[in-house]
Every structure is written in structure tokens, then in C-alpha cells.
Structure 1
Amino acid sequence: MPRSTASNPSNQPTIEALMMRFLANRSDAASSAVETGESEVEPHEVAAGFRVDPRAAWLDATSPLTMGGNAPAPAGQLPNEWAALVGQPSSAFALPMAAGHFPQRVKDLQPLLTKFSPAELRPTGTQGASPAFAGLRTWIAKNGPTNPLVAAGLARTLGDFDIAAKLLAGATGAENEKAALLWQRGKCAEALAAWDALPESAAVLFNRGMGRLFLGQIADARLLLQKAVDAIPETSGWHTLARLYLAVAEIHG
């Protein structure tokens, strides 16, 4: 697969460049683990040897609140077992920009680059809740009354959908989070309709584009993901994931 500028007329970064930047900026692995020379290494091989910095992932997991127009996300000590959750090997593919989600969960790029079957990659809502993580669930129960959006996001990430729904029921500014819960429950068309009804923000633009990409509406996804790229700060892991999804749309569109 050529890597030259001539083979990239849209001037989009290559998938390898995106993934290397994504991991290098969001990892606490040694910099020597990153390949810097010319290489034909596939993206999933570039990822080998990296592990995500839990604090960087926490910043990305709470930043959708500020970019969605809500109150500032809580700071301070990381939740119990957050590092263990971040270190889980399982990969997500169709990931909404919402509290509790961190873009580093998109670890395996092969299904995005090769066959790309959106129906197989988006959530079905049939997955069970993550076992263990009693400490993280204790944090959710303790902090739910004061930080319902973050607590609900963590519950959603763990697959505790009913707990997330209860936390969001009485919360203000929870529209993006409610749509993300619909998405994770496999009600993807309903989630996209909910995002389309919200005022425009960086998180909403990302989710409108992501939703269309994984519902097979690739041409519309490209336009919205480009807007998301422009709206999300480059220092955010969500910016790189938006560019990654945009590149996927370019490849398969």
C-alpha cells in the first residue's frame, strides 16, 4: 500500500500517521517504542507495545462534557479501578464522544480499514455488563448524586445500562449522554435522530458524523466529521479519532 503524497491527493494524514500520533500523544510508553522511520508496518502492529496513560484517558473521558456545552468536568483523583478499565484489551469501533468513553478504546483498526461492515461494528446492545470492577461501581454509586453525567458515562462504559439511565433521568444537560446510551443499547437510528435534534457543538458534530459512518451514510459522515475535526482541539484524543473516522470515510466512500 503506497504511502507517497501522490497516492494521497486529499492531503489527509495516512492511517499509520494518525495511529502513531494518537498513541504517541496518549501513551505513557517509552518514546523509543514508536517507529519513526519509513515503514510498511500495519496500524495494529504500530499499536504493539503501547499502553494508555490512565490520566490522559480520564481527561478525554470527561472532556465531552465541556465540548458539549455542559459544566466543567470533575477533576482530582482518578476513580478506583479506572486504570484497570483503561488497560482492558477489548476494542471498540463505533464510539460516541460522551462522558466515560475514551478514544483510545479504538485499538484494532483492521476491521475499519479492510472489509468495513458498519452493521457488524456498531453496538447491538446485547453485550453483558463487564464483570468485576466493584471499586469503580462503588465510585459510581458514591458520586452519582453530585456528578451524574460522569457516573452515568462510566456505568454505560461498564455495560450497566439501567444504572446509567437512572442517573441520567434527573440530570440537566444530559441530552448527548442519553443519545450515547441509546447508541450503546443498539438503538442507533434513534440515537442519531437525537443527536440531529441537539444544538451544534463539537461533541454533537462528532457523534452525528460517527453515527452516519456506522449507519452506512458515508458521504454525509465525511462532511460532519470534517466539521468535528475543525471544532475539536488538536490536543484532544477525540480530535485524532475524528480524523481517523474521516480517513475511514474517505477510504470507503
Structure 2
Amino acid sequence: MSYTSYGGMESTIGPVKWEGDVIEDGLKDQDFVLRLTDSRSITKLTWKGFSSSSDQFDPCPSNRKWKYHFQHLRYHDEWMGDQDIVESMSNHINGGWDGYSYDRDYGQGSDWISTSTDLQWTIWEITRRLTKLHRSKVDLHLIRKGLWISRNYRGCEPIWVNPTSYLRKQARLEYYYENPYRKAYNFAKASGEMLCYGRIFDKDILESTKWTNSDPGFVLPDYFYKSRKYWDYYDSWIDRLVWNPWEDDSTEAKRKMKNRRIKLQKSRR
């Protein structure tokens, strides 16, 4: 297992602090979000945190510029319902936009950074990338959502947006076949999508873990795994999961995790 804590320019390597059960509780309480990156990610982690790929955020704006030009958007949400803004959410979630390229040096960028509030979907997506997409590793970043900010705080604050309500409203106005807003809405609901506008600050990144075919980044809840009687000695952690990453979509994986959790709860009574 690997651990990196970003509290500024320097990183610290040490034991993993967080486990799946604690993270899952924090996600339910809206304390945390999760972000995945790999070799094909456009928005990568730097010592400043994450900065979205559009021209206005590339290069990453300084903290002073952020507070002067962008932070006021946090305090009202009328702009989020603008059709152009909702369209940009839809394009981002659907995996591309006009001029999209996985290479940040080419094409147009996005104002948004994707995160998830769903641990089950996140681990399913990690295994999909490691198996079907043949990524050598996937990094999972545990991020403080920023709801603990006191009234006396004078530093930089992130702008979090739950896109589902905006996408649902727009989807109802569009009736043509293969409605992109409905597609984005369905994906956002399934994945627990939480968008961040512009920047995720280094101070809010609590932990980064590396996941490979041979090594999970942290201890997962028991219900993610099959019963030990079905484990083989040479199985990887992926082989021991209750779902099959090669065959099962996220809905089926979640169904199997739910059934496994129910069985475990009954056995512990």
C-alpha cells in the first residue's frame, strides 16, 4: 500500500490512515469526496492540488486571484442553472466536449473536476480501469469537501456542485432521441458525481493511495469480498471481489455487494 498526504509542496510517505469503513461513513455524511486519476487523466494532481483544464484555470490561478475572481460564486447558485453552464456539466460528465483531448496541451478544456460520493462505484471503476482498460495503476484521492469551514476562516474555499438537479431539469426540456442531459444525469446518479468548479486545493486532499492489480490502496469493507472459503491462495484482491470486473457493470456489482452485506449482517446476529 502507498500513501501520500499533501499539505503543501512536500509530500509525506507513511502508513495509510484511512480504511474503507471510515471513508464510507464520511462519504455518507458529506464530509469527503473521492477522485480517481490514472495515466490518461487530463487533470492531474500537483503540489497546488487539482486545477481544471479550461483556459481560465490553466495555468492554475493563484490563491489571491481565486479569491478575487471566483470565490464569490460559492455564495450564490443562480449561475449554475444557466443553460451554457448546465451544458458544460453535461459535456464534462459524458466524457468529452468540443475539442476534447486527453492530452491537456491540445484541444479545449473543461471548467469542471469530477469526484464521486460513492465508494462502491469508485472501487468498481478502479477495477474496470485496471482490468478492461489495462491501466498499470490508478490513484484514489480522498478529499475534504469543505463543509467544516468556520465563519472566521479567511482562506480559499472550493466551489462544489451536485449536477443532478440541474441536469434533470434540462433533460425534461429536451425530448429528442439520445438526450445528452439525460445520459449525463443517469451517469451522475449511478456514480455519485460531485463536480468541483475550477480548483481543488492541496489543503483539502487528505490522502492519495495507489491501486494496482496486486495491491489495493486501503482496507475495503468485508462485503466487497466473497466468502473466504471461495478464495484461492494465489488470488489477487480483484479475484476475491464479490463481482467480476470483466463482466459486471456497476449496477450488477452494487447488487452483489448489497446481497453480500445482507448475508454478513445476518451471520453476525
TM over 0.5: no
Structure (1 or 2) with the greater strand fraction: 2
Structure (1 or 2) with the greater helix fraction: 1
Which structure has the greater CA radius of gyration?
Answer: 2
Higher relative contact order (CA 8 A, sep 6+): 2
Task: Calculate the TM-score normalised by the size of structure 1.
Answer: 0.27
Task: Calculate the TM-score normalised by the size of structure 2.
Answer: 0.26
